[in-house]
Chain A
Amino acid sequence: MLIRPAADIRSSELTPEAAYWNRRDWLAAAGGAFAASALVPGSLRALAQGGSPVAQGTPYGLQPGDKPTPWEDVTGYNNFYEFGTGKEDPAELAKGFNPKPWTVKVDGLVKKAADYQLEDFIKPSKLEDRIYRHRCVEAWSMVIPWRGIPLADVLKRAEPTSQAKFVEFTTLFDPRRMPGQALRVLDWPYVEGLRLDEAMHPLTLLATGVYGRDLPNQNGAPLRLHVPWKYGFKSIKSIVHIRLVDKQPRNSWQLSSPNEYGFYSNVNPEVDHPRWSQASERRIGEFARRKTLMFNGYADQVASMYSGMDLRKNY
């Protein structure tokens, strides 16, 4: 149960989360959550509204009618096979996962290879709240208020050499902490890759949070990618390794079914998945299907990177 501020309150006027939790602890101690909420009108309102955080951030490429997808769906409907193959498995099976401490290794074709503690990795950049469209290859979509930093920031700091052409990402491999890795549905660890210009694109985000909070485990805590013009599986979760390379890296879903999933995986309504149409999508929370947009609505910003490429071949 959380206190939900009215929409017109600026984020600077909000109670800091720490203070707020103290108050909540105190209220709980003062005689049970329900009695407490009866005493405090704000809490009562939060109880009635389901107590979810409010979306905040700058909209990027949102289309008419795009509203942030509710917190319950963003954190309750996830593809994260490291924590089970069902959509609701990750929220359940990732409960005990502790993403702290976390180390990120940056190496390969860079001048400054290093192992970073997550805090030191993020600290030099300013965290931004950005609201992005998210399109899953399974033809459903969401609008998600991420918190994170441009991937370009950390890449620039590592100083890629002139041979570096691609970036390869790896998810944590630890079957004791990620129970889904006991099942060999994919060849663990999960790997993904981007071309260097895609990785350096200002829209490419390394997310550490969602809805103004630290990433819940099921969303890829503590560090994940979000590339809004590509299908969701490109946005690798729980990253431990970022490597600059000169050859196109392999990516898990392409390794698993090369005729269904490619390296680029740009959202494209004209190129169908062999088993379903990509022309339309279901926005989570809506009944009628929406038309899928080229590059998920980010064509103006990203299409030039693919000019002259046959997107049917490079799916």
Chain B
Amino acid sequence: MRAIKQPRGFSVLLIVALCIPPALAITGLASDILGGTRYFGSNPIKEGEHFLGRWTLRLLVVTLAVTPLRQLTGWNWLAKHRRTIGLFAFGYLTLHWIAYAFLDVQLDWTDLKKDLLKRPYIYLGMTALVLMIPLVVTSTKAMIRRLGRNWARLHRLLYVIAILGVIHYAMAVKKDLTDPLTYALMLSLLFGWRLSRWSRKATTAARTVGSPV
């Protein structure tokens, strides 16, 4: 594989870029709620909450796209940024939850409880949030070293989290499934890529074992 070096300043640029959506969400919402502007339209709390939810999904897709992209292009330096993007995805998800619990439901405990117990799309979303916590906790260099092979296994949870996220989105929309289906399609492409690589690896391995060398 070609070993292409990371372009200069990429790490900084990536972090700056990843800060833009939450910065827009926070300033836009603050201005709409406190100053009566309409950056997020007429119903800024709902719109801001959805904006953060959609960005969480986008970032999960990007996190899952890093490995296929690396394999396709040979840009192996991308690998070390996967963790950064994943951590930001958790940040977006936390903001999405804060917008839901604090601004939308406004900490009405009966409503929160009802939502959590009776509404599948809410508990699927909450499950995804909870499942991300062990991934965040084990994202330090020390934990990666300590967990060894199990680290990769544990972090495959991200596939489950992304699927839960898309189902949560599909169940939350009233009627128009275009957007959730677009995310579902992107996820299937990314999973399809991995599956085909694994099965190819498995068959090559089987052939190697079986061949009388």
Contact = CB atoms under 8 A, between A and B. Distances in A.
Interface of A is mostly: loop
Interface string B91-112: 0000000000000001010010
A280 B174 contact: no
B42 A275 contact: no
Interface string B17-51: 00000000000000001001010011101110000
B38 A72 contact: yes
A311 interface: no
Contacts of B46: 140, 282
Count class of interface residues, chain A: 20 to 34
Contacts of A98: none
Contacts of A256: 175
Contact of A72 (B42, B45, B121): B42
Contacts of A303: none
B89 to A, nearest CB: 25
B42 A87 contact: yes
A282 B45 contact: yes
A88 B45 CA distance: 15
Contact of A275 (B41, B47, B172): B172
B114 interface: yes
B42 A289 contact: no
B41 A186 contact: no
Nearest to B114: A277
A276 B119 contact: yes
A77 interface: yes
Count class of interface residues, chain B: 20 to 34
A272 B122 CA distance: 15
Given A77-B43, A275-B121, A277-B114, A288 B106 contact: yes
Contact of B41 (A77, A279, A287, A289): A77
Contacts of A87: 41-43, 47
B109 to A, nearest CB: 12
Contact of A272 (B36, B42, B45, B114): B114
Contacts of A81: 175
Contact of B43 (A140, A185, A280, A289): A140
Nearest to A186: B175
Contacts of A289: 106, 108
A140 to B, nearest CB: 6
A280 B107 CA distance: 13
A25 interface: no
Nearest to B36: A285
A244 B33 CA distance: 46
Contacts of B171: 275
Given A81-B175, A275-B172, A284 B42 contact: yes
Contacts of A285: 36, 42
A288 B175 CA distance: 27
30 contacts: A72-B38, A72-B42, A73-B42, A76-B38, A76-B41, A77-B42, A77-B43, A81-B175, A85-B174, A87-B42, A87-B47, A138-B174, A140-B43, A183-B178, A185-B175, A186-B175, A256-B175, A272-B114, A274-B119, A275-B121, A276-B115, A276-B119, A277-B114, A277-B115, A280-B111, A282-B45, A282-B46, A284-B42, A287-B45, A289-B108
Given A85-B174, A289-B106, 17 more contacts: A72-B42, A85-B175, A183-B176, A183-B178, A256-B175, A272-B114, A275-B119, A275-B171, A277-B111, A277-B114, A279-B111, A280-B108, A282-B45, A282-B46, A285-B42, A287-B33, A288-B106
Interface of B: 33, 36, 38, 41-43, 45-47, 106, 108, 111, 114-115, 119, 121, 171-172, 174-176, 178
